[in-house]
Every structure is written in structure tokens, then in C-alpha cells.
Amino acid sequence: MIGTLLRRDLGLLLPGGRGGGGVLPLLFFLAVAMLYPFAVGPDAQLLARTGGGVIWVAALLAAILPLEKLVSGDLEAGVFDQLHLRGISEELVMAVRLLAHWLAFAPLLLLATLPAAGLLGLDGTTTRTVLLGLLAGTPGLAAVGLAVAALTAALRGGAALAGLMVIPLAVPILIFGAGALSTTGDGGIALAAAISLGLCAVTPFVAGAAIRSVREG
């Protein structure tokens, strides 16, 4: 049953899936990496020094884009109600969706980080730190995104609000993940991973409770 749920969620969220717009966050991410050198000028040193941070900010903003379709569509269509009638808990449904959401945007984002790093002229070590940081941080971004998407799903204009709400909640991941760029050692990445794990553990319960409260409301 978990496999069935995951397959449906992936079909909905993956690029080229029926949800549509799966490639959009990716293009957005690359577009930011492309625009940044135009904006600050061709100072290679400056680009190499700040590029890692720009990639992080772009990744964070790109993670906001898919939130609109993450929960509200199924809520309106009554999918969660039908699953509830079948005794499938909201927590499980949300845990599966978290996994699907991460799978649908993070691996491609990591892949797109390579051309982005090229565009900004990052060296090998920095690129590695950015990639490791994103690998540690994206599960947390996905978790925050899903929790906020579920909390705002029933609101009018919920998608715009979700975008705004994700940003402050994602700040800790950004601080440690991007912070690893300016410090030596992998302590920052480890902390970003720890925050990610914590968020991933909490999110299915937050999102599940949000869906139940909409149902009862």
C-alpha cells in the first residue's frame, strides 16, 4: 500500500508528471545562478566567494515553488477523506508524500547544482561542500515545505502564504548548510543534517494533524 501511495505521489510531483510544472523549480534555480553574474559583474573572485551562498538561496526559493500542488489538490478532491475511510492514517500519507516531494525535487536540484557551480565559477572543494550541504539540507526544506503546505492548504491564497512561511522556518538549515562554506570542517553540514532529520520526523505529524483539523473544521 505504501508503494501504491508513493507511486501515485511521484506521478503527481515528478517533472513531466501529471501535476505539471515539475521542471519549473529547476529552471528557476538555474536562472538565478545565471542571472547573478550579470547582476554583480564579471569579478571571478567575488563570484567564487559568494556563489555558494547564491546557490543555497536559489535552492531554498526553488523548494517553495512546488508547494502549491503538494496538498491542496488532494484535499479539495477528497482523496484524504477516502484514504481515512480505508483506515490509512494521515501521518502515513504525509510521510509518503514527504518522501515523494523530496525525490521529485532534490536529486534533480543536486544535479543542476553542477552547471550552476560552473556558471558561478566555483572551485571543486566549494562545489563539494555545496552539494553535501544541499544533500543534508534538502530533506529539511522538503519537510518544512510539506508541513506549511498542509497548514495552509485550506486557506484562500494559501500558496502565497506558504511561500512566506517557509522562509523563516528554513533559516536554520540555510545558516548551517551555507555556513559550512565559510568554515573549515563538516560541522555545519552535520548540523544541517541534524535539523533536517528532526524536521522530517516531526512533519508527518504536523501535516497529518493539519489535514484532520481541516476535516473537522
Give the number of residues in contact with other proteins, rule: CB under 8 A: 23
Q: Rule CB under 8 A: say whether 83 interacts with other proteins.
A: yes
Q: Rule CB under 8 A: say whether 182 interacts with other proteins.
A: no
d(CA 203, CA 13) in angstroms, rounded, equals 18
User: Helix or strand or coil: residue 15?
Assistant: coil
Q: Rule CB under 8 A: say whether 78 interacts with other proteins.
A: yes
Q: Rule CB under 8 A: say whether 12 interacts with other proteins.
A: yes
- Kindly indicate which of the ranges 21-29, 80-88, 101-109, 180-188 contains the residues binding other proteins, using the contact rule CB under 8 A: 80-88
Q: In angstroms, give the least distance from the CB of 11 to other proteins.
A: 8
Determine if residue 157 is left, alpha or beta; phi over 0 gives left, psi from -120 to 50 gives alpha, anything else beta. left
Beta-carbon contacts of 123 under 8 Å, excluding residues fewer than 6 positions away, are 48
58-77 residues near other proteins, rule: CB under 8 A: 76-77
What value does the CA radius of gyration of the chain take, rounded to a whole number of Å?
Answer: 18
Q: Where are the beta strands (DSSP E) in the chain?
A: none
Q: Which residue has the cell 524536521?
A: 199
Letters for 14-53 (x = contact with other proteins by CB under 8 A, - = none) are ----xxx---------------------------------
For 62, the enclosing helix (H) or strand (E) is helix 44-64
Q: Rule CB under 8 A: say whether 4 interacts with other proteins.
A: yes
Query: With respect to other proteins, which residue has the nearer C-beta, 49 or 84?
Result: 84
Q: Which of 105, 102, 104, 98 is nearest to 204 (CA)?
A: 98
Query: With respect to other proteins, which residue has the nearer C-beta, 104 or 170?
Result: 104
Site residues, other proteins (CB under 8 A): 1, 4-5, 8, 11-12, 18-20, 76-79, 81-88, 215-216
